């Protein structure tokens, strides 16, 4: 029976490799979009083939936000997306959604499709198929959805999950914040103008938050945070640099601070280093590097965030860059035994986690071991 399963797996893998898939967008590589609130365009070259993704307001009443502005692409209700291929006949498009949930609201749903296409939703994955067309238009007719990846193929059933970049040894996560905010969740940021809130600044290149717009200061309680899995790490440490505009604290202030959420509660490690107060001008001339010993969180899952809080009487611009989380891999006999007893996690061939796999070919992750199995 085992030989039969292996033979079937080999046949299935060979069949899937006979077609070509192209990743046009994923949360770790959002691309350079052009446009404005009426619509954004991304030109992609993948596997030597040319594609274009274009968004349009459609029936959406407000301005669109660039798909590269948030951790996942916010595809607003009644807005449109058109994918065009100059070089291939597309037979399948797989959209993977974010599992983010807020106050019981989820952000995944089936999409309306242009003529010649049909689609189905399975968990966090929406698949559109055709006999082979150069273009498809999708509408978020039911509600806003948040897109993590877009993969197209010249055959049905052949897409594979995008592979992220490998990190240097000892690095758990790194982001200079020069071009993107990958995997970070914004909280209460929607209440601020597009010109304020948490975003990537261009000069200097950094993560920035402020609440000054339309010629006035505004009240704000905006956070940005990301979860980190430290279960396999020890001697964890963090470094991040900060600077300011329009107000220049020389020691820790309570309304602009970093926080760490763990099973034990929420801690607020204080910044020790602050940039010098500039002799002139409204902005710090340099960034001040800060280091934090996070070894007390070794082996845990934590959330690291930055809190921007103001009553509107002032509006300090807080700038952050060079976020680097490091640690030593914890390899032990206990860890090996735990891995052997680890609960297997199943994914489909699009990289989407499947809670209750029933039949088909799946990728199985058990500890650090990855394999394929047919059920």
- Residue 271's alpha-carbon distances to 13, 14, 146, 238, 240, in angstroms, are 51, 54, 34, 12, 9
Q: Do residues 222 and 277 both lie within one domain?
A: yes
Res. 2: pLDDT tops 60: no
pTM of the model: 0.50
Q: How many domains does the chain have?
A: 3
Helices (H), 208-345: 333-340
313, 337: one domain: no
Instruction: Please say if the pLDDT value at position 303 is more than 80.
Output: yes
Give the lowest-confidence range in 69-83, 147-161, 266-280, 338-352: 338-352
Q: Are residues 217 and 322 in the same domain?
A: yes
In the chain, pLDDT over 70 holds for what percent of residues? 85
Q: Where in the sequence is the domain holding 82, given as residue range(s)?
A: 20-153
Tell whether 38 and 149 lie within a shared domain.
yes
DSSP one-letter string for 7-61: HHHHHHHHHHHTS-EEEEEETTB----EEETTEEEEEEEETTEEEEEEEE-TT--
For residues 211 and 318, membership in a common domain is answered with: yes
Q: Are 245 and 270 contained in the same domain?
A: yes
Rounded Cα–Cα distance for residues 292 and 273 (Å): 11
Nearest to 270 by CA among 301, 293, 246: 293
Three-state DSSP at 311 gives: coil
Pair (361, 325) in one structural domain: no
Quote the pLDDT of residue 247. 87
Reported as a single tens digit per residue, the pLDDT across 263-285 is 999 999 999 999 999 999 999 99
Q: What dihedral do alpha carbons 25, 26, 29, 33 form, nearest 10°?
A: 40
Indicate whether 324 and 270 sit together in one domain: yes
Whether residue 136 is found in the same domain as residue 31? yes
Residue 10 is assigned to a structural domain of this protein:
no
């Amino acid at each position: 029976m085992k030989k039969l399963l292996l033979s079937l797996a080999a046949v299935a893998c060979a069949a899937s490799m006979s077609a070509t898939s192209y990743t046009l967008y994923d949360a770790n590589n959002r691309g350079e979009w052009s446009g404005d609130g009426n619509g954004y365009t991304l030109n992609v070259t993948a596997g030597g083939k040319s594609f274009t993704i274009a968004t349009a307001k459609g029936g959406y009443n407000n301005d669109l936000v660039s798909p590269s502005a948030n951790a996942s692409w916010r595809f607003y209700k009644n807005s449109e997306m058109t994918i065009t291929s100059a070089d291939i006949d597309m037979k399948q498009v797989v959209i993977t959604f974010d599992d983010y949930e807020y106050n019981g609201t989820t952000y995944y749903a089936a999409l309306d499709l242009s003529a010649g296409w049909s689609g189905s939703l399975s968990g966090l994955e929406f698949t559109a198929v055709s006999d082979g067309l150069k273009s498809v238009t999708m509408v978020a007719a039911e509600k806003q959805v948040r897109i993590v990846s877009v993969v197209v193929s010249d055959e049905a059933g052949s897409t594979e999950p995008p592979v992220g970049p490998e990190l240097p040894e000892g690095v758990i996560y790194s982001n200079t914040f020069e071009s993107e905010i990958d995997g970070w969740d914004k909280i209460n940021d929607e209440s601020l103008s597009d010109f304020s809130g948490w975003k990537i600044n261009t000069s200097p290149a950094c993560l920035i938050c402020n609440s000054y717009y339309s010629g006035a200061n505004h009240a704000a309680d905006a956070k940005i945070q990301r979860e980190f899995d430290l279960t396999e790490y020890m001697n964890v440490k963090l470094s991040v640099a900060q600077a300011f505009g329009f107000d220049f604290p020389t020691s820790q202030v309570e309304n602009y601070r970093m926080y760490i959420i763990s099973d034990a509660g929420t801690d607020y490690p204080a910044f020790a280093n602050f940039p010098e107060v500039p002799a002139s001008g409204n902005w710090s001339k340099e960034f001040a590097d800060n280091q934090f010993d996070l070894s007390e969180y070794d082996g845990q899952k934590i959330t690291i965030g930055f809190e921007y809080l103001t009553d509107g009487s002032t509006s300090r611009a807080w700038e952050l860059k060079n976020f680097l989380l490091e640690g030593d891999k914890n390899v032990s006999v206990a860890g090996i035994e735990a891995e052997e007893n680890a609960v297997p996690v199943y994914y489909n061939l699009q990289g989407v986690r499947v809670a209750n796999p029933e039949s088909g070919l799946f990728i199985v992750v058990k500890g650090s071991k990855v394999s394929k199995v047919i059920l």
